[in-house]
């Protein structure tokens, strides 16, 4: 095969829509069966991966410098300069050290979040069916090269620009590229020069457009940046990064708090200057330091990290999160509307009941020796195939019949070889039967399976315990009774018969073969529920989430499966509705009655949108599953669209917020659990940061009003540095609390300050400030030095170390909004424990290490003074624990009650 020598220049300017398909193949040096692997690898190295150009990535140095664009940081730098000019060298040095360390931590947070998101993007790379080495294989779309021949079908997203080689009823929706909302019919014939507009190039397909119908093969003519979409993407490299709604909400909260803190800082500066006790420089530095310390500037980064790490955890549990806000929204889910087949069930038909010799037997206890003809009929009147690795291939119903005998240790290949097929009558929808003629002990024998009523109409004898006798009206009535009994269990019933033939018919037809049959028996089969789903549904209900089943199956089948899973109560006939009945309801009527229904049977994909909107009209957060092209509108309309990773089309995956790698309902519940954990951890971090900041503001405000000595800028900044960074991040990765799935959903309009968090922030911040001021008062009232200046220095040091350590102690309180800290789980998070220890040592060192006393303006404390500080920390825990006891006793005022 000749290879392409270049990917740019003339090749890129070629108008492939004007060239016949055969000539395109020749120009691109390929074949209708694609490239060899070696040639594809060579082209991949020359052309690069088939990916769109990424936005500009900042280097570590650029990220570091970007940290200094924040207004508060710039003000701090000015303050350091003023302090240096005023002769306060140590203060200026400490301010600079704090600013640099803050920048380092900022880069750390940003890089960690970017790496987490990048890891997710790698996992979400789509795949494509490609001809390689003369056979079809599935590859990552990134590996496509010019000259590859790909296969497309309804639901696929085109992975590159292609020239179609074959099409069959192909329609492609190109709205994202051309603005034309109607899907375009595609063809293979060459076009004239007048088809220069993309929308007129009906023999071309373009990257990121959607196949809505039909099938096709196409040859890749452009990849990555050279595609039509790639050219547009190149223009967007300098676009600003998007901000999620959750990040916007947190940023807004930070701005509001910043405004309040700045106002308080100005007030403290004014009051301090009014008292005349502190110098202009000291009060200016204090006000600036307070503003910097009290504003939660790291909160958006902590939220992003927590969300990104949460998504990675979900990936390990087979739930790929495509959009970060979906993590948080998952935790608020109140309705989960799930497809039945493959999600609630195994998507694998299974024989459950067998009727033979006039008795009904469970498949699990069936005696294989009961009827040899039944075994032959189920195995031989069957078009399933054995795969190379002994897998069963073919129609799910027919593979289920084979699997029944595999479970009985029957060698399928040996049975087929012993009774070779001579002729067959394929199934058709009119007669609803399928028959095969085989050689059975040197005699041609016809084995038939099919619908009970159709087969009984052709039966005149019955096999009963090895004896063939004429069938009576009572016998037929008994068979029909068994059929009804199985059908009421939502089982799909098949009947079996056989007929020894005198000779091989010259022209086997239904009239010549499927007559005068001998009835053998019945089987009842069903697509059974996944074994883990029933427990997942019970957990969802315990969490106040309402599961719904949506299926194209008949109502009886849907009700039976729903009752087995616990979605529908036994005997609840009104809890299910069909698509036909839905059509009789107006949107207003559906909204008024939607709470009645748990099961939707015989519905079309378009019904899903109505179901979503009906529940959303009741302010419910709705998750909806889907796998087909027509499911995309419902996935978009839902608060959480859940696509299927195995059976789902690329269109449905692209429309979804979450993609299930295993198509399993239990995975949705696991993702909801993780979403609740993520929300709770962000809430804990917010409570910790804001209560600590409030404590700092209150302490300085009261000290200023009381005309006491106030904490110095270096002390405030150091407390902020060691308490606000690692402990807050560690709270973001706390394991889920034991009762996370025993609480009702938080609701559509809940915020991070709901569920009693806002109240906790206020009283805990006041408590921190009060305890710090109390320690300061104790230091002044019970001094160990007679010298007043030393006594004030000791008291200020005690207040400083108390304010810092009390925040670290309080971090343990924040591990649970309402649960006790006195559990083994409180010490289970090693990352959290390490963060607290490191932060505590960094604080204590500024007091305990003599060489640092001068830099941080601290004094050496004796045992009694440390005991007072320790008592303040214990009081912080004791008071918060006492409040939690009250909150647990009267939960209605502070937390959501679990729904029954």
**607: phi then psi, degrees, rounded to nearest 5:** -65, -25
Q: In angstroms, rounded to a whole number, what is the distance separating the alpha carbons of residues 400 and 751?
A: 50
- Cβ atoms of 232 and 176 within 8 Å: the answer is no
Q: In angstroms, rounded to a whole number, what is the distance separating the alpha carbons of residues 776 and 707?
A: 13
Calculate the alpha carbon distances from 199 to 11, 161, 183, 221 in Å.
21, 14, 11, 17
Question: Quick one: which of 673, 677, 675, 695 has its CA closest to 816?
Answer: 677
- DSSP code of residue 54: P
**346: phi then psi, degrees, rounded to nearest 5:** -75, -15
- Where helices occur in 276-391 by DSSP H, the ranges are 280-294, 299-316, 325-330, 372-380
Q: In angstroms, rounded to a whole number, what is the distance separating the alpha carbons of residues 179 and 147?
A: 28
Between 713-724 and 830-848, two packed helices, what is the crossing angle to 10 degrees?
Answer: 160
Question: Quick one: which of 548, 198, 110 has its CA closest to 340?
Answer: 548
First to last CA, the chain: 69
Q: In angstroms, rounded to a whole number, what is the distance separating the alpha carbons of residues 459 and 453?
A: 10
User: Residue for token digits 């055969």?
Assistant: 22
3-state helix, strand, coil in the chain (%, to 5): 50, 15, 30
Q: In angstroms, rounded to a whole number, what is the distance separating the alpha carbons of residues 202 and 189?
A: 9
Question: Quick one: which of 119, 145, 132 has its CA closest to 50?
Answer: 145
Calculate the alpha carbon distances from 383 to 335, 397, 399, 424 in Å.
41, 10, 9, 10
- Cβ atoms of 1 and 36 within 8 Å: the answer is yes
Question: Quick one: which of 97, 142, 103 has its CA closest to 123?
Answer: 142
Question: Quick one: which of 137, 242, 123, 139 has its CA closest to 659?
Answer: 123
Q: Which one is catalytic: 161, 282, 339, 657?
A: 339
What does DSSP say about strands 161-173 and 184-185: parallel, antiparallel, or unpaired?
A: antiparallel
- DSSP code of residue 124: T
H or E stretch covering 601 = strand 599-601
Q: In angstroms, rounded to a whole number, what is the distance separating the alpha carbons of residues 691 and 683?
A: 12
Please provide the size of the chain in residues.
Answer: 900
- Three-state SS for 544? coil
- Cβ atoms of 703 and 785 within 8 Å: the answer is no
Question: Quick one: which of 172, 143, 144 has its CA closest to 157?
Answer: 172
Q: Which residues pair with 338 in a beta bridge?
A: 549
Q: In angstroms, rounded to a whole number, what is the distance separating the alpha carbons of residues 713 and 97?
A: 13
- Cβ atoms of 165 and 32 within 8 Å: the answer is yes
User: Residue for token digits 């069936």?
Assistant: 366
Q: Which residues pair with 461 in a beta bridge?
A: 470, 518
Q: Respond yes or no: is residue 70 known to be catalytic.
A: no
**355: phi then psi, degrees, rounded to nearest 5:** -115, 120
**∠ CA 411-413-415, rounded to 5°:** 70
- DSSP code of residue 18: G
Calculate the alpha carbon distances from 761 to 155, 510, 750, 817, 893 in Å.
49, 81, 16, 10, 15
Give me the active site residues, please. 339
């Amino acid at each position: 095969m000749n290879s392409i020598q270049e990917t740019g220049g003339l090749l890129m300017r070629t108008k492939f829509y004007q060239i016949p398909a055969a000539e395109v193949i020749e120009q691109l040096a390929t074949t209708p069966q694609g490239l060899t692997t070696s040639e594809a690898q060579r082209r991949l190295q020359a052309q690069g991966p088939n990916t769109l150009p990424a936005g500009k990535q900042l280097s570590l140095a650029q990220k570091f410098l970007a940290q200094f664009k924040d207004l508060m940081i710039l003000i701090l730098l000015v303050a350091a300069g003023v302090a240096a000019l005023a002769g306060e060298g140590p203060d200026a040095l400490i301010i600079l050290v704090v600013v640099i360390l803050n920048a380092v931590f900022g880069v750390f947070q940003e890089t960690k979040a970017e790496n987490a998101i990048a890891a997710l993007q790698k996992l979400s790379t789509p795949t494509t069916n490609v001809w390689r080495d003369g056979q079809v294989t599935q590859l990552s779309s990134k590996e496509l090269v010019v000259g590859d021949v790909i296969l497309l079908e309804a639901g696929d997203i085109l992975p590159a620009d292609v020239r179609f080689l074959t099409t069959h009823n192909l329609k492609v929706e190109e709205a994202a590229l051309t603005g034309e909302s109607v899907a375009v019919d595609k063809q293979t014939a060459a076009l004239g020069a007048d088809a220069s507009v993309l929308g007129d190039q009906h023999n071309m397909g373009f990257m990121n457009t959607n196949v809505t119908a039909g099938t096709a093969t196409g040859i890749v003519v452009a990849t990555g940046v050279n595609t039509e979409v790639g050219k547009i993407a190149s223009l967007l490299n300098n676009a600003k990064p998007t901000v999620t709604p959750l990040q916007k909400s947190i940023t807004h909260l930070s701005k509001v708090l910043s405004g309040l803190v700045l106002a308080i800082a100005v007030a403290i500066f004014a009051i301090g200057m009014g008292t005349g006790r502190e110098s202009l420089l000291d009060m200016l530095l204090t006000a600036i330091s307070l503003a910097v310390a009290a504003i939660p500037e790291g909160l958006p980064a902590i939220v992003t990290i927590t969300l990104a790490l949460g998504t990675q955890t979900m990936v390990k549990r087979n739930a790929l999160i495509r959009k970060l806000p979906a993590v948080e929204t998952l935790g608020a889910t109140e309705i989960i509307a799930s497809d039945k087949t493959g999600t609630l069930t195994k998507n694998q038909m299974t024989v459950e009941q067998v009727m033979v010799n006039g008795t009904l037997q469970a498949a699990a206890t069936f005696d294989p020796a009961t009827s040899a003809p039944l075994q032959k009929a189920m195995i031989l009147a069957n078009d399933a195939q054995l795969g190379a690795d002994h897998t069963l291939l073919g129609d799910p119903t027919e593979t289920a019949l084979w699997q029944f005998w595999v479970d009985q240790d029957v060698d399928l290949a040996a049975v087929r070889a012993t009774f070779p097929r001579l002729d067959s009558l394929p199934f058709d929808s009119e007669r609803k039967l399928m028959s095969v003629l085989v050689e059975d002990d040197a005699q041609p024998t016809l084995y038939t399976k099919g619908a009970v009523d159709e087969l009984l109409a052709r039966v005149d004898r019955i096999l009963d315990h090895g004896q063939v006798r004429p069938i009576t009206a009572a016998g037929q009535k008994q068979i029909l009774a068994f059929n009804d009994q199985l059908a009421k269990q939502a089982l799909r019933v098949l009947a079996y018969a056989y007929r020894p033939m005198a000779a091989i018919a010259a022209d086997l037809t239904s009239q010549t073969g499927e007559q005068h049959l001998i009835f053998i028996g019945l089987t009842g089969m069903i697509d059974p529920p996944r074994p883990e789903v029933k427990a997942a549904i019970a957990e969802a209900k315990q969490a106040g989430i309402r599961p719904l089943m949506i299926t194209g199956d008949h109502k009886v089948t849907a009700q039976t499966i729903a009752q087995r899973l616990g979605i529908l109560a036994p005997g609840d006939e009104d809890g299910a509705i069909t698509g036909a009945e839905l059509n009789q309801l107006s949107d207003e009527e559906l909204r008024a009655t939607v709470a009645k229904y748990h099961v939707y049977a015989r519905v079309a994909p378009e019904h899903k949108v109505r179901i979503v909107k009906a529940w959303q009209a009741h302010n419910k957060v709705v998750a909806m599953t889907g796998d087909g092209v027509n499911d995309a509108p419902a996935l978009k309309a839902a608060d959480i669209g859940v696509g299927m990773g195995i059976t789902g089309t690329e269109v449905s995956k692209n429309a979804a917020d979450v993609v299930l790698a295993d198509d399993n309902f239990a995975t949705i519940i696991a993702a909801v659990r993780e979403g609740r954990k993520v929300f709770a951890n962000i809430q804990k971090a917010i409570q910790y940061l804001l209560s600590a900041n409030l404590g700092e503001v209150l302490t300085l405000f009261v000290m200023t009003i009381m005309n006491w000595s106030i904490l110095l800028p270096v002390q405030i900044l150091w407390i902020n540095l060691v308490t606000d960074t690692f402990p807050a991040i560690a709270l973001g990765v706390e394991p889920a609390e034991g009762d996370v799935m025993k609480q009702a959903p938080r609701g559509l309009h809940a915020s991070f300050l709901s569920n009693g968090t806002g109240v906790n922030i206020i009283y805990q911040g006041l408590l921190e400030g009060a305890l710090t001021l109390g320690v300061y008062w104790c230091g002044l009232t019970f001094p160990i030095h007679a010298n007043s200046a030393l006594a004030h220095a000791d008291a200020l040091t005690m207040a400083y170390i108390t304010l810092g350590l009390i925040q670290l102690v309080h971090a343990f309180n924040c591990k649970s909004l309402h649960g006790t800290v006195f559990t083994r789980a409180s010490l289970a998070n090693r990352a959290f424990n390490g963060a607290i220890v490191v932060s505590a040592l960094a604080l204590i060192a500024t007091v305990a290490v003599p060489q640092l006393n001068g830099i941080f303006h601290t004094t050496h404390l004796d045992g009694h003074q440390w005991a007072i500080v320790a008592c303040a920390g214990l009081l912080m825990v004791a008071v918060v624990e006492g409040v939690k006891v009250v909150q647990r006793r009267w939960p209605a005022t502070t937390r959501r009650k679990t729904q029954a």
